[in-house]
């Protein structure tokens, strides 16, 4: 028990620093993505997100990140923002989710997501449904590509942020063919 109390904070610190710590995503390819609605921010403004409604427009890249304004999460958000033209060209939308509060997400959407895509609040129910709990009050760094029919077609779960954009973009491009 004492070891667990030491390991969880250590893993959380490594994750926020952007170091590679493999995460485990329970949802597998072919699984139907759990439906959800949430509130978040886009370009600093409050934003309502409904997965079912967004899937009617095309595929969705749903990426969970541990905590806004930490090194790895900031770099990942910057990378997604830089790639948004490529995601749009492939017909996909991107939304980031974390357990952060709305004022933090509003600021993060402006400063680090560069007004390019929304970030939403991952409620305890969403975190549980997508099996992305990591430490206390955080999510693992897990990205899902969800096809327009609601099936998960790609999962990338790794606390190292560097491959999430390239992996999800490649999966979205495969769907576009």
SS3 labels along 102-168? HHHHHHHHHHCCCCCCCEEECCHHHHHHCCCECCCCCECCEEEEECCCCEEEEEEEECCHHHHHHHH
CATH topology of domain 2-176: Glutaredoxin (3.40.30)
Q: What is the pLDDT of residue 140?
A: 95
Q: Is 64 helix (H, G, I), strand (E, B) or coil?
A: strand
Per-residue pLDDT of the chain (177 residues; tens, 9 = 90+): 444 444 444 444 444 444 444 445 579 999 999 999 999 999 999 999 999 999 999 999 999 999 999 999 999 999 999 999 999 999 999 999 999 999 999 999 999 999 999 999 999 999 999 999 998 889 999 999 999 999 999 999 999 999 999 999 999 999 977
Q: Residue 40 is inside which H or E element, if any? A: strand 37-42
Tokens of 121: 């609040």
Query: Given the structure tokens 């403004």, which residue do they identify?
Result: 45
Q: What is the pLDDT of residue 94?
A: 98
pTM for this entry: 0.86
Q: Structural domain boundaries of the chain?
A: 2-176
């Amino acid at each position: 028990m004492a070891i667990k109390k030491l390991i969880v904070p250590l893993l959380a610190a490594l994750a926020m620093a952007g170091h590679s710590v493999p995460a485990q995503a329970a949802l597998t390819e072919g699984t139907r993505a759990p439906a959800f609605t949430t509130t978040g921010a886009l370009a600093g403004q409050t934003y309502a997100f409904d997965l079912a409604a967004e899937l009617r427009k095309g595929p969705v890249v749903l990426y969970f990140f541990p905590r806004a304004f930490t090194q790895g999460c900031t770099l990942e958000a910057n990378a997604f923002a830089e790639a948004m033209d490529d995601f749009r060209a492939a017909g996909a939308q991107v939304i980031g989710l974390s357990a952060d509060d709305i004022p933090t997400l509003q600021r993060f959407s402006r400063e680090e997501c560069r007004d390019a895509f929304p970030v939403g609040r991952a409620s305890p129910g969403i975190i549980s449904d997508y099996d992305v709990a990591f430490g206390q009050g955080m999510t693992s760094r897990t990205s899902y590509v969800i096809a327009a029919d609601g099936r998960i077609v790609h999962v990338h779960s790794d606390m190292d942020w560097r491959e999430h954009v390239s992996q999800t973009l490649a999966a979205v491009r495969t769907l576009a063919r």
